[in-house]
Amino acid sequence: MRPAVRFLSDELVAKIVTEARDILGHLGVEIHNSGILDMLAEHGARVDTARNRAYLNDELIDRALRTAPRSFQLYDVFGRRTHDLSGCQVHFTPGSAAINLLDPQTNTARRPTTADYVRYARLVSRLEHLASQSTALVPADVHQNVSDSFRLFLSLMHCAKPVVTGCFTIDSFSVMKDLQLAVRGSAAELKAKPLTVFSCCPTAPLKWSDVTSQNVVDCARHFIPVEFISMPLSGFVAPVTLVGSLVQHTAETLSGIVISQLANPGTPVLYGGSPAVFDVRYETTPMGAIETMMIDCAYNEIGKHLGLPTQAYIGLSDGKQFDAQDGLETGVGAVLAALAGINNISGPGMLDFESCLSLEKLVLDNEICGMALRLTAGIEPKDDFPARPRFEELLQGQHLLISKHTRQHWRSEHFLPGRVIDRANRSRWQEEGALSLHERARQEVARLVAASEPPALPTDVQRELTRLMEHEARRYGMSRLPHEEL
Amino acid sequence: MAVLDEMAANLVQGADERVSELTRRAIQDGLPPKRILDEGLLAGMTRVGELFKCHEIYLPDVLMAAQAMNAGLEHLKPLLVREGVPMLGRVVLGSVHGDLHDIGKNLVGVMLRGAGFEVVDLGNDVPPERFVEAAQEHSAPVIGMSALLTTTMPVMGRVVNLLQQRGLAGRIKTIIGGAPVTEKFAREIGVDAYGYDAANAVERVKSLMDTQAA
């Protein structure tokens, strides 16, 4: 039996979806993109062009839900399958697009550089419980108009894992798609073996900007998977109740699914999000709040009810330094998300409302993810019955350390964390330097980065990736890219 | 020597049948038993110790390797005895009087045997006199004591005192361990060594034996 957690009854799920449909049909959704409004009108939606508003009826929504795939897979740069986004299969990925890096020496936030990004990508390549990388940092040493595509370029060059990413502009989609085509070799191959997932965010309440809605359509046209990141903010730009926020999340996400499926039926999507409650003391959006996590797990139930694979930004912290709050909020989030069966869990490594990445935290979070994955495997009998022979063996030998049963099962039964988790007795811990968690994590980052190798992409692929990126950089006046000096 | 390298490599893998076979072959080839022991079996166990320490392998792997070592030793032991090659040594082991906990002590015993020591296990609830008498009776240069209770820890000091009274201190070394036991306590009661876990206890016993031999 897979251990699980549930927050919504079937009746409540159905009621929330019904109310969300009612909102989409009667209040509509605001879309600042005339091409998409025209597309919706052509398919039968009522459109008020003066107010950039489209009213989505049940027929449109049902059609979109019929064509959206129930599951899909992701593949690394070599075309090896890494993700099965279906059922309750759980995969972890670092959080996305932090504008700051927590400097390990000063424990303060600073702007990240290309060198930091490469170090990050190399580290992720060695963290076994993170199934994918994400473009988790925004390098500050390149022109802002290439900071999105340049992250993808660096990721593909330095880590084999698939990439959760996204565009900051409409223009950058083209090169970000071409980079993927360079790795896969053809559009057909990229469709058959998706390499990335693009995050596309509606704006609360019930709004799509020109950029994000166009990104949805552009991804759909190339069968690039999209995760919809609806962000209702409970008590501010969403109802204060968790159910009310879920209604809004459902409406916003359904509107994204309609846009993508009308643009290209069958394009893969993740029913995702990054909701939060609004903290009325600090005017912030706490990702570590327990109610934020409850909304995440609950909309995942709605996504599964609609038959779609899911995603959430959960398993991250609002702390500012590498400290106990990080472990607390990340641990609770990751465990809940894993039990809920969220298919793509984005969060590890992140601090400060997802604005700051810590490599040390990423190493610690990798262990949290490992534990959460073990948790989902549950408790199952493994050659345990009949029990008597095992106990006869135990009573005779006084231990089972090297019994066949132990050797066969201990690696799958007991999760052994890496060196960052301290399980030594006090004397051994002292003998090994009495290191704090932060010091151990720092050492692990250094060790793992030093042990990493960039993926052995064929030379012509590397050359083409570099050519594409340099061409893009030249459009914005950059004759050299900082990665060349590394 | 290829056969000894292969023996060590197989020992690390815990391949007991293969180690047994290679030991037989090395003996047939006429290699000196001491060299087979040092460069084959013990070389393998040293590697196992290093791998265990840096978490490349785990306790079950160490014990599998120990089993493989004993498979080789079975063939080698009669020859070593005949040639008067000293074995690694003998350790008297027990949980102290009043203490019925023996899981940690048993693990130390398993690890010591694996490392090539002979172990005289006195069990649990062992009175101080019994430790001293057994060490004399079996010519064991090391007594290992374990306690899980703070209330039974003082018995360890009584063993040290008894060895002193009988003029055996220095000739018979003592090592202690157990959850509540600390290096500081070991220093206070005047034992010769403290092992913080089973693998560490084996290292400390080796050091005690080395100083004994010197």
Check CB contact of A394 with chain B, cutoff 8 Å: no
**Residue B89 near residue B209, CB atoms below 8 Å:** yes
Bridge partners of B211, per DSSP, are: none
Query: Do B155 and B72 share a structural domain?
Result: no
Same domain, B208 and B105: yes
- Within 8 A of A427 by CB-CB distance, chain B residues are 182-183, 194, 196-197, 200
Residue among B106, B179, B200 whose CB faces A428 most closely: B200
B13, B47, B82 - which closes a domain:
B82
pLDDT digits (tens, 9 = 90+) for A444-483: 999 999 999 999 999 999 999 999 999 999 999 999 999 8
Domain count of the fold of chain B: 2
Same domain, B39 and B113: no
Per residue, what are the HEC states of chain A? Answer: CCCCCCCCCHHHHHHHHHHHHHHHHHCCEEECCHHHHHHHHHCCCEEEHHHCEEECCHHHHHHHHHHCCCCEEEECCCCCEEEEECCCCCEEECCCCECEEECCCCCCEECCCHHHHHHHHHHHHCCCCCCCEECCECCCCCCHHHHHHHHHHHHHHHCCCCEEECCCCCCHHHHHHHHHHHHHCCHHHHHHCCCEEEEECCECCCEECHHHHHHHHHHHHCCCCEEECECCEECCCECCCHHHHHHHHHHHHHHHHHHHHHHCCCCCEEECECCEECECCCCECCCCCHHHHHHHHHHHHHHHHCCCCEEEECCCCCCCCCCHHHHHHHHHHHHHHHHHCCCEEECCCEECCCCEECHHHHHHHHHHHHHHHHHHHCCCCCCCCCCHHHHHHHHHHCCCCCCHHHHHHHHHHCCCCCCCCCCCCHHHHHHCCCCCHHHHHHHHHHHHHHHCCCCCCCHHHHHHHHHHHHHHHHHCCCCCCHHHHC
Residue B50 pLDDT > 80, yes or no?
yes
Using CB atoms, pick whichever of B63, B64, B197 lies closest to residue A425.
B197
Judge if B136 and B181 occupy the same domain. Answer: yes
Contact B196/A410, CB-based, under 8 Å? no
Instruction: Give how far Cα B102 sits from Cα of A356, B91, B151, Å.
Output: 50, 16, 16
Grade residue B214 by pLDDT with cuts at 50, 70 and 90.
low
Q: pLDDT tens digit string along A241-294?
A: 999 999 999 999 999 999 999 999 999 999 999 999 999 999 999 999 999 999
Query: What single DSSP character describes residue B168?
Result: -
Task: Indicate if B181 and B103 belong to the same structural domain.
Answer: yes
Considering the domain architecture, whether residues B39 and B142 belong to the same structural domain is answered as no
Q: Find chain A residues with C-beta within 8 A of B182's C-beta.
A: 426-427
- Cβ contact, residue pair B196, A425, below 8 Å: yes
Spell out which residues of chain B touch residue A431, defining contact as CB-CB under 8 Å: 196
C-alpha distance from B186 to closest chain A C-alpha (Å): 12
The helix (run of H) or strand (run of E) holding residue B199 is helix B198-213
> For A133-147, b where at least 16 C-beta lie within 10 A, e where not — what string?
bbbbbbbbbbeebbb
How far is the CA of A125 from the CAs of A81, A113, A334, B128, in angstroms?
Answer: 15, 19, 20, 56
pLDDT tens-place string over residues B98-145 = 988 888 898 899 889 888 899 999 999 999 999 999 999 999 999 999
Residues 12-41 of B with CB under 8 A from A: none
Binned at pLDDT 50, 70 and 90, residue A486 comes out as confident
- Structural domains present in chain A: 10-57 (no CATH), 67-377 (3.20.20.480), 388-416 (no CATH)
Cβ–Cβ gap B107/A406 under 8 Å: no
**Do A401 and B200 count as a contact with CB atoms less than 8 A apart?**
no
Rounded to whole angstroms, the Cα distance separating A142 from A48 reads: 40
Quick check: B182 contacting A, CB < 8 Å? yes
Same domain, B101 and B206: yes
Residue B60 touches partner A, C-beta closer than 8 Å: yes
Which tens digits make up the pLDDT trace of A78-134?
A: 999 999 999 999 999 999 999 999 999 899 999 999 999 999 999 999 999 999 999
Question: Number of residue pairs across A and B with CB atoms under 8 Å?
Answer: 33
Mean pLDDT of chain B: 92
ipTM (interface pTM): 0.80
| Cβ-based contacts of A419 with chain B (< 8 Å) | 55
The one-character DSSP state at B83 is T
B44 and B114 together in one domain: no
**pLDDT tens column, B173-188:** 999 999 999 999 999 9
Rounded to whole angstroms, the Cα distance separating B142 from B132 reads 10
Is A262 buried (19+), middle (13-18) or exposed (0-12) by CB count in 10 A? buried
Nearest to B105 by CA among B7, B204, B12, B197: B197
Task: Give the domain CATH number at B185.
Answer: 3.40.50.280
Distance CA A479, CA A138 (A): 20
Cis peptide before A381 (omega within 30 of 0): no
d(C-alpha B88, C-alpha A195), whole Å:
58
Tell me which chain B residues have a C-beta less than 8 angstroms from the C-beta of A400. none
A427 touches B: beta carbon within 8 Å: yes
User: What gap in Å lies between CA A74 and CA A70, rounded to an integer?
Assistant: 14
> B50: domain range?
2-82
Q: Which residues in chain A are contacts of B60 at CB distance < 8 A?
A: 401-402, 406-407, 410
A interface mutation test: which of B53, B57, B58, B119 has the most A CBs within 10 A? B58
pLDDT score, position B213:
60
Q: Are residues B116 and B99 in the same domain?
A: yes
- The span from the CA of A205 to the CA of A230, in Å, is 9
Is B106 close to A399, i.e. CB distance below 8 A? yes
CA-nearest residue to B61 within chain A is A402
For residues B128 and B162, membership in a common domain is answered with yes
Q: Is A419 touching B (CB cutoff 8 A)?
A: yes
Do B11 and B61 lie in a common domain? yes
Are B174 and B98 in the same domain?
A: yes
Sign of the torsion angle spanned by Cα atoms A460, A464, A467, A469: negative
Question: What's the pLDDT at B109?
Answer: 92
The CATH number that applies at residue B37 is 1.10.1240.10
Q: Which two tokens stand for residue A242?
A: 């968790």
Instruction: Determine the residue of chain A that is closest to B64 in CA distance.
Output: A402
Q: Which of A398, A401, A426 sits opposite B59 (nearest CB)?
A: A401
Choose among B60, B182, B197: nearest Cβ to A406.
B60
Q: Which among A239, A258, A236 has a CA at the least distance from the CA of A249?
A: A239
Q: At a CB cut-off of 8 Å and minimum separation 6, what does B44 contact? A: B7, B8, B9, B10, B11, B12, B19, B65, B68, B69
In angstroms, what separates the C-alpha of A382 from chain B's closest C-alpha?
Answer: 18
Decide if B63 and A410 are in contact by the 8 Å CB cutoff. no
Task: Give me the pLDDT at residue B86, please.
Answer: 74
